[in-house]
Amino acid sequence: MSLDLNLNKILIIDFGSQFTQLIVRRIRELGVYSELVSHKKIKSTQIKSNTKGIILSGGPLNVDELNNNLFDKRILRLGIPTLGICFGHQILSKFNGGKVKQSKHREFGLANIYKRNSSLLIDNFFNKKSKKVWMSHADQVYKLPKTFKVIASSENSKYAIVESKVEKFFGVQFHPEVTHSENGKKIFSNFISKICKIKKNWSPKDQKIKLIKEVRQQVGHNKVICALSGGVDSSVVAQLLNKAIGKKLYCIFVNTGLLRKNEETQVVQTFKKRLKINLIYVNAEKEFLSKLKNVTDPEKKRKIIGNLFIKIFERYSKKIKDVKYLAQGTLYPDLIESKSVTGSQTSKIKSHHNVGGLPKRMKLKLVEPLKFLFKDEVRKLGLELNLNREIISRHPFPGPGLAIRMPGLITPEKIKILKEADYYFISALKEKGLYDKIWQAYAALLPVKTVGVMGDNRTYEYLCLLRAITSEDGMTADYFDFKKSFLQYVSNKIVNSIRGINRVVYDVTSKPPSTIELE
């Protein structure tokens, strides 16, 4: 799968390391387009002249297992500068006549490496005698190919950094892509600018121009429909398409009744009134509530909401004649958590709701212009597209909405209470300047009532759970460490202002083992 933006790029060949995505990000953060492909799928004949460098990722395999079905070794004979990381480093040595075997001392965690020779790859990397780097390997190179020389060593890895100047092969046994590796970014910047000599081509402005061009090429004069949720991703898709094809875009916004407080008004205001997008507003609150009546199982809730959403969307989109395309705000991490883009299987954690079944049923083709972007890239692109900061900096909100923040039964009374609690929490975060420091925050309503006392009266009301996390992309997360005074402030505000909640708790679990949402 390729975005085929026809840009000069660094190609990252994924051998299944948990850090592969980070490599893509690091290169893009340095302003150069990079793309991820599976080791099983990429063939040397598919690599075109716009691939200016290759990075072989780490992975759980053993080099002896790498037969021709698993990796086309001719890729290493194309004369393209190549950086191997961990397993990738072992591949480079093995296929050039070196030897790899299980290490006597496995290295997991931080290790010190020491410079032994100079190389373009380590220009300004060793600003002191040694560097702390992150190791995670059981095998290691123990005999270097003839043309290779050692650049740096650790106590347990003689060949921690190696190079073959002739072939422009570079290997690092550690993981420069993880933040624990000191100065790791320098390895990448040296590789891309000093070795691959690739110019910067990946700024939000570059992306805007390229993506608009791509969308125009893909859809031609045809009409496109788009499910607009008001969240960052679909908003950016809608505005990108608005810029690309104007009135040939039709956005449908379904109010499921499970949105955040006042969300529907804001969406109509922004997209219909300000950005002049063709927007069809559908109020389906009653339909969703009636279908969700008596349902408590999380996956059932998700399925019901997803299916009904599709049905309603289909109902309204049929009213627009001759639609050929459906635009979706699918992102890179969305693809990776449910179905790996690179073809390596990762486990499906929750059934993520999008308009999945629709393209087939309606014979629609998909337009997914953000599918290779990370969330922070999407946000920057949104700003470049003149979307207001309030939409851009908005925390992610799941498709099934408040339904999955309300374990147990979904009732109008609970929705009303939850909308208010969430509103107070989010308003307090904004008021205290904390909102932008947090990746995602929300209030949830737990299906238990507890006893309280207010004034002289006994209360018996719901328990409100607050969740606020920091994360890079939602794949892993940690709880946000609020000051006690803030938690006290929000708790008081919620309990004093909302009838129906008499107790507030703060969730301090990370992901994993928990997930960000409750269901």
* Residues in contact with ligand XMP by the rule CB under 6 A: 349-350, 352-353, 396, 398-400, 440, 474, 511, 515-517
User: How many Å from the N-terminal Cα to the C-terminal Cα in the chain?
Assistant: 31
What is the rounded CA–CA span in Å between residue 189 and residue 438?
A: 29
What is the rounded CA–CA span in Å between residue 325 and residue 225?
A: 6
Strands 440-454 and 457-470: antiparallel
Residue 177 annotated in active site: yes
Nearest to 28 by CA among 379, 329, 374, 341: 374
Phi, psi of 154, rounded to the nearest 5 degrees: -110, 180
The one catalytic residue in 39, 137, 175, 395 is 175
Nearest to 90 by CA among 58, 115, 119: 58
CA atoms within 13 A on the CB side of 337: 15
Nearer to ligand XMP, 124 or 347 (CB): 347
Nearer to ligand XMP, 161 or 404 (CB): 404
The one catalytic residue in 35, 107, 167, 177 is 177
What is the rounded CA–CA span in Å between residue 509 and residue 496?
A: 26
Nearer to ligand XMP, 171 or 401 (CB): 401
Q: Which token pair is 442?
A: 């929300």
What is the rounded CA–CA span in Å between residue 81 and residue 508?
A: 45
Q: Give the list of residues 6+ apart from residue 198 with CB closer than 8 angstroms, or none.
A: 8, 9, 10, 32, 52, 53, 192
Distances (CA, A) of 319 to 100, 145, 150: 63, 66, 67
Q: How many CB atoms lie within 10 A of CB 168?
A: 17
Residue 353 annotated in active site: no
CA torsion angle for 315, 410, 300, 237 (degrees, to 10)? 50
Cα 141 to the chain's mean position, in Å?
A: 33
Nearer to ligand XMP, 173 or 256 (CB): 256
E strands, 209-342, are 223-227, 249-255, 279-283, 323-327
Residue 86 annotated in active site: yes
Nearer to ligand XMP, 227 or 240 (CB): 227
The one catalytic residue in 39, 86, 353, 395 is 86
User: Please, what is the minimum distance in Å from the beta carbon of residue 304 to ligand XMP?
Assistant: 12
Nearer to ligand XMP, 163 or 233 (CB): 233
User: Please, what is the minimum distance in Å from the beta carbon of residue 476 to ligand XMP?
Assistant: 9
User: Please, what is the minimum distance in Å from the beta carbon of residue 298 to ligand XMP?
Assistant: 10
User: Please, what is the minimum distance in Å from the beta carbon of residue 250 to ligand XMP?
Assistant: 21
Cα 296 to the chain's mean position, in Å?
A: 29
Nearer to ligand XMP, 98 or 382 (CB): 382
Active site residues: 86, 175, 177
